[in-house]
Amino acid sequence: MSTEKKLLVVLGATGYQGGSVVRTLLHSPTYHIRAITRNPTSPSAQALASAGAELYTADLHSTISLTNAFSGAATIYLVTNFFDDLSTTHKEIEQGKRALDIAAKLPTLEHLIWSALPSITDVSGGKYRNVVHFDSKAVVTQYLKTKKDLWAKSTVLWIAPYFQLWEQMRTIFGPVRVVGEDGVERFVIKKSAGPGMKMPWVDVEETGMVVRAILCKGRDLGGKVVAMVGEENVGEATKFKEWGEFVKRPAEYRQITKEAQVKYLESLGLPPFLVTDMSEHLAAFEEFQGKVYHGPEVIQASEILPEGEKLKDWKEYLHTADWEPILQK
């Protein structure tokens, strides 16, 4: 490792968020990237290594491995993966707290970026209390705030739903290919949300760009929340129609009842708590839309991005994304 560069440790480096951080900052003159993975031989880990990242094997469940991985870090990008282990709802909280406990003791640490989400229980005034994959990250954020020294050098990053969810969680969010009785193949999205519902989608591949902006601001963003949130400018049905036109395939948005949606989620074999989580998640977004990510203390990514950089909107994403993986499966 170069002695002149600061060590940036990236969790989730083989995933969407962390991968973007690695790809964006890999050739930065300031940082040496340590990409964390549990499996350094996986194709995605090997791709990072080929690009020049240092691979480091660690697991968010293992204190020893994380302590070693964080050693010497000036900066940490911390993301937990709620969906990795669905045997209990508490794993993510344990992982987050474990990582923060270790980070708090690091003498070299200058900046921690914690990828969290707001509490839907709070946003909804207690109406939706079961969106665990949001609320558990908010619990970890509260824990972070109790560690005063660490909190002063931490920035919380809230990332809105990714456009890439169509691929990442296709059966829940994305277009499903169906062949009708007429023998015609079409792509269908089934949701209880009305066709006019607007979502603040983002291109998760821009996480690195936002993280770079946060790092440039440095301590000014200590103890602050930054939201990476897109424009809610296109309703869901219109978005899907435009997609169908672009990829030249029949695309149909079907609104279903809330009960039908629960049945559909159950049919995917999700554990009952996740069926409730996802149902309330969709309901909360229909009711509150992008307001989920706003608040007096929340800084929007657009306020910190340098001139010439902005988050993609749907039209830009539509025209630049690779749709083949969705069309081929």
Ligand X SMILES: NC(=O)c1ccc[n+]([C@@H]2O[C@H](COP(=O)([O-])OP(=O)(O)OC[C@H]3O[C@@H](n4cnc5c(N)ncnc54)[C@H](OP(=O)(O)O)[C@@H]3O)[C@@H](O)[C@H]2O)c1
Rounded to an integer, what distance in angstroms lies between the CA atom of residue 65 and that of residue 16? 22
Out of 7, 10, 16, 189, point to the residue binding ligand X (CB under 6 A).
16
Could you tell me if 255 and 193 are in contact, meaning their C-beta atoms sit under 8 angstroms apart? Answer: yes
- Three-class SS state of 11: coil
Q: Does 78 bind ligand X (CB under 6 A)?
A: no
Q: Does 18 bind ligand X (CB under 6 A)?
A: yes
Q: Which stretch binds ligand X (CB under 6 A): 2-10, 34-42, 100-108, 298-306?
A: 34-42
Considering beta carbons, is residue 74 or 202 the nearer one to ligand X?
Answer: 202
Q: State the minimum distance, in angstroms, from the CB of residue 38 to ligand X.
A: 3
Q: State the minimum distance, in angstroms, from the CB of residue 13 to ligand X.
A: 6
Could you tell me if 76 and 103 are in contact, meaning their C-beta atoms sit under 8 angstroms apart? Answer: yes
Q: Does 117 bind ligand X (CB under 6 A)?
A: yes
Q: Which stretch binds ligand X (CB under 6 A): 54-62, 68-76, 211-219, 297-305?
A: 54-62
Rounded to an integer, what distance in angstroms lies between the CA atom of residue 31 and that of residue 74? 9
DSSP tag of 289: G
Residue showing the smallest CB distance to ligand X in the complex? 15
AA identity, residue 212: R
Q: Which of 73, 81, 224, 92 is nearest to 158 (CA)?
A: 224
- Three-class SS state of 276: helix
The size of the interface with ligand X (CB under 6 A), counted in residues, is 29
Report how far Cα 287 is from the mean position of its chain's Cα atoms: 21
Q: Does 14 bind ligand X (CB under 6 A)?
A: yes
Q: Which of 183, 115, 187, 104 is nearest to 146 (CA)?
A: 104
Q: Which stretch binds ligand X (CB under 6 A): 8-16, 46-54, 100-108, 282-290?
A: 8-16
Q: State the minimum distance, in angstroms, from the CB of residue 212 to ligand X.
A: 17
Residues that bind ligand X (CB under 6 A): 11-18, 37-39, 42, 45, 59-61, 79-84, 117, 133, 159, 161-162, 165, 168
